[in-house]
Amino acid sequence: MTSVLERPAPAARPPARRGRGAVRLPGPWTYAALIAVLAGSAFPVYWSLVVSSQTPDKVDSVPPVLVPGGNLFANISRVFDQSDFALAMMNSLIVAGTITVSVVFFSTLAGFAFAKLKFRGRSALMLLVVATQAVPTELGVIPLYMMMSDFGWAGEIHAVIVPGLVTAFGVFFMRQYFERAVPDELLEAGRMDGCSSLRLYWNVVLPAARPAAAVLGLFTFMQAWNDFFWPLVVLTPENPTVQTALSTLASGYTTDYTLVLTAATIGTVPVLAVFLLFGRQIVGGIMQGALKG
């Protein structure tokens, strides 16, 4: 019987392998870079809040004021008194909301057709849809404005909504998502149970598209909300959106930056609200796409 002193020493643990499957923890420089990016992204919003809460005489002060003041609600009242900003907010909400719902619906429907349905000319039609993204927007402004005038929509928000009801990017984005996210076996099982293509879309494809649809919906809402060029062309100052109302406030011989940045801060609230409401699905969709890629 061997004693404790005679027992062999335990073998040394081999060093951890740093192969392809090893997990590397982020270092301090990674966190420092993320904090710097976050601060740089959030600073313009914070600066707008600071300026909108100050009086006009403090905007050009040296050193600049970096702490919010107590004049925010007074400036908000001035924005709604000196411009029709309530109508602009309502118009932008109607335009961005309608375009977002329409783009998500038609993009998921067309993306499902291009990805999973077999029909003649599918590749050529998809190539044509993608090719439309290479056409500059400015080339279609004059004929589009003439068309809106013939319809009697010039100066109305219909002229802003209808051209954006479906986008080539949305169709291409959802088509690429459905190629990998919806297996053909699942659709074949549904057809064997007697499901039509529309029922497959509604009961099988659309629930699977929620993460990607949330990402597409956020991007579409932001693009429609921030659109400036086409509303400036087709709308009148009496029927503005948020962006055209901001340009009106900034025009003139002198610019009241507290007024302009207060309106810009108000116009940022709906976008932040959409992200807070659908943030979990949006982040989940982005991470799901990253893992699948």
Binned at pLDDT 50, 70 and 90, residue 7 comes out as low
pLDDT > 90 in the chain, percent: 35
Gap between the Cα atoms of 159 and 16, Å rounded: 63
The string over 273-283, giving b where at least 16 C-beta atoms fall within 10 Å of a residue's C-beta and e elsewhere, is ebeeebeebbe
Q: How far is CA 234 from CA 89, 156, 230, 241, 244, in A?
A: 17, 8, 6, 11, 11
Amino acid at site 100? T
Q: Decide: 58 and 75 in contact? Cβ < 8 Å.
A: no
* Average pLDDT of the chain to the nearest whole number: 84
- Output 284 or 129, whichever has higher pLDDT: 129
Distance CA 286, CA 7 (A): 56
Is residue 267 within 8 Å of residue 93, measured between CB atoms? no
- What six digits make up the tokens of 207? 């629930």
The residue count for the chain: 293
Work out the pLDDT band at 89, boundaries 50, 70, 90: very high
Question: What distance separates the 2 farthest-apart alpha carbons in the chain?
Answer: 105
- CA-based R_g, the chain, Å: 27
**287 phi and psi, to 5 degrees?**
-70, -35
CB under 8 Å to 263, separation ≥6 — which residues? 79, 83, 85, 242, 245, 246, 249
Using CB atoms within 10 A of its CB, is residue 111 exposed (0-12), middle (13-18) or buried (19+)? buried
pLDDT-based confidence at residue 29 (cuts at 50, 70, 90): confident
Nearest to 237 by CA among 56, 101, 126, 84: 84
- Runs of H (alpha helix) within the chain: 28-52, 72-82, 85-116, 122-131, 141-151, 158-161, 168-181, 184-192, 197-200, 206-208, 210-226, 229-234, 242-250, 257-292
pLDDT tens sequence across 141-186: 999 999 999 999 988 999 999 999 999 999 999 999 998 888 888 8
**Main-chain phi, psi angles of 192, to 5 degrees:** -65, -25
pLDDT band for 66, please (50, 70, 90 cuts): confident
Instruction: Judge contact between 245 and 61, C-beta under 8 A.
Output: no
Distance of alpha carbon 104 from alpha carbon 101, whole angstroms: 5
Overall average pLDDT of the 76-99 stretch: 93
Instruction: Tell me which residue of 178, 225, 167, 230 sits closest to 200, measured CA to CA.
Output: 178
Q: How far apart are CA 275 and CA 279, in angstroms?
A: 5
On the question of pLDDT at 32 being above 80, the answer is: yes
Q: What is the pLDDT of residue 293?
A: 46
